[in-house]
Amino acid sequence: MQPHIYSQSQHNIPQERIDSDALFVIDRLQKAGHTAYLVGGGVRDLLMGLYPKDFDISTSAKPEEIRRLFSNCLLIGRRFRLAHIRFGKKTFEVSTFRAGDTAEESLILRDNIWGVPEEDVLRRDFTINGLFYDPQSAEVIDYVGGMHDLQNHFLRTIGDANVRFKQDPVRMIRLLKFRARFGFAIDESAWQALLDNHLEITKSSPARVIEELLRMLESGHALSFFTLLEQTKMLTILMRTLDEECKNMGKKELLAYLHIVDHFHKQHADEKLDRTVLLAALIFPIIEKKLGKVSFEDVSFTTILKTTESILDPLFHQSFVQFTKRQRFLVEFILVMQQRFDLTLKTSKILPRLLSHPEKNIAIQMLFLRSHSHELLRPLYRQWKEASRQEAPSS
């Protein structure tokens, strides 16, 4: 299989946007006689004029050979052997080129059969993620038509979509993720394969699915993503309680806070709301609907606690995605704390004991989201935010 090679003048990737330590890793691998490329989402983002969050590397070097070259290397995984090379807080994922049968429909449970670049690329998910970049020659190497699809804003699986989704059902989540993030059109066969195979997602690792969901809540495109989950019936599998409330309340009402979440993350690219706050933002509209109130200064603590528990119990115990006990505890804390904040509307008093609570800031983040949904709560948020700042030096 012959690749299409794109020169610097054709792709215009600015090398100054590539992390210098990633370039160092590739250079050392190549000088040791190995093939090594930047691969995947990092190449895609560079071609789109974005700043990549990750710089993944693929190489002909075996994991043990990578470890011998880098003292800061840690080999991880048994079923999927990878090298992590660390530079301070940064970690670069270095994978060895894989081979294997890409027509086999069963789940990929082990993937340590080494291969060459043209075999490795066939095991990747979408054509736009199947591009290699060689910093030494400044060439993009394309075996799968990824450049054409990227230029035409098109999402296409590498290989038969039905097979690829059965091999790794999380790819269906990723398809919706890229649709939400980039607005690209989805290949008709891939869309139909997702609709036909959406139940396959239950064969995935819940931890992987949860991580994809949480990353999308942080992405600035959460509203579009969760709308797609509901549209494709994936939401009813992953978070049945939310799907049921979508039908009861309507998507617009249930997902109202995600619009605010997205706006915040787009305006503050380097600052993320706490993940438990993001989960709380999915649930809070249900509480508002059940209690029929914007503020809860006249609602008893017992009432809001019972209402919160009636929502969290099925969400955390009857969903495919399984959250940790700590996440459950913190989400409940965030939600019931809103009633404590709202009491200020009636008493005009800040409760000092709340300011000393170690988790107060995540609860105040939720109040921030509420204040952007309901104008009457904005003075309340400013009051608590200022009180929290004044308390900080002595805490």
pLDDT at 151: 96
pLDDT at 104: 65
Tokens linked to 133: 């970049």
pLDDT at 105: 57
Average pLDDT over residues 164-177: 96
pLDDT band at 394 (very low <50, low <70, confident <90, very high): very low
Q: C-alpha 352: how far from its chain's center?
A: 36
pLDDT band at 378 (very low <50, low <70, confident <90, very high): very high
310, 286 in Cβ contact below 8 A?
A: no
pLDDT at 102: 59
| CATH 3.30.460.10 residue ranges for the chain | 4-152
Average pLDDT over residues 225-245: 93
What three-state secondary structure class fits 133? strand
If one compares 224 and 244, the residue with the highest pLDDT of the two is 224
Q: Is the dihedral of CA 189, 195, 197, 200 positive or negative?
A: positive
Of 176, 359, 167, 309, residue with least CA distance to 158: 167
d(CA 211, CA 213): 5
Does the annotation count 56 as an active-site position?
A: yes
Q: Between helices 325-347 and 275-291, what is the axis angle to 10°?
A: 60
Average pLDDT over residues 119-142: 96
Exactly one of 120, 125, 262, 342 is catalytic; name it. Answer: 125
pLDDT at 112: 65
Exactly one of 21, 45, 54, 111 is catalytic; name it. Answer: 54
pLDDT at 390: 81
82-87 vs 131-134, strand pairing mode: unpaired
pLDDT band at 42 (very low <50, low <70, confident <90, very high): very high
Phi-psi category of residue 12: left, alpha or beta, with phi > 0 → left and psi -120 to 50 → alpha: left
If one compares 349 and 57, the residue with the highest pLDDT of the two is 57
CATH number of 4-152, picked from 3.20.80.10, 2.60.60.20, 3.40.50.170, 3.30.460.10: 3.30.460.10
Least confident residue range of 72-76, 99-103, 297-301: 99-103
Does the annotation count 149 as an active-site position?
A: no
d(CA 230, CA 395): 43
Average pLDDT over residues 82-94: 96
Q: 188-213 burial, b if ≥16 CB within 10 A, otherwise e?
A: eebbebbeebbebbeebeeeebbebb
pLDDT band at 392 (very low <50, low <70, confident <90, very high): low
Kindly give, in sequence order, each residue whose CB lies less than 8 Å from that of residue 292, ignoring residues fewer than 6 positions away.
Answer: none
Average pLDDT over residues 335-343: 93
d(CA 236, CA 240): 4
Tokens linked to 348: 């005009």
Burial of 183 per CB tally in 10 Å (0-12, 13-18, 19+)? exposed
Average pLDDT over residues 62-89: 93
Of 291, 279, 196, 290, residue with least CA distance to 239: 279
Say yes or no to pLDDT of 127 above 50.
yes
Q: Which amino acid is at 86?
A: R
d(CA 278, CA 270): 16
pLDDT at 303: 94
Place of tokens 């299989």: 1
pLDDT band at 110 (very low <50, low <70, confident <90, very high): low
For the segment 303-323, what is each residue's pLDDT rounded down to a tens digit?
999 999 999 988 887 788 888
Does the annotation count 54 as an active-site position?
A: yes
If one compares 102 and 310, the residue with the highest pLDDT of the two is 310
Give me the percent of the chain exceeding a pLDDT of 70: 96
pLDDT band at 106 (very low <50, low <70, confident <90, very high): low
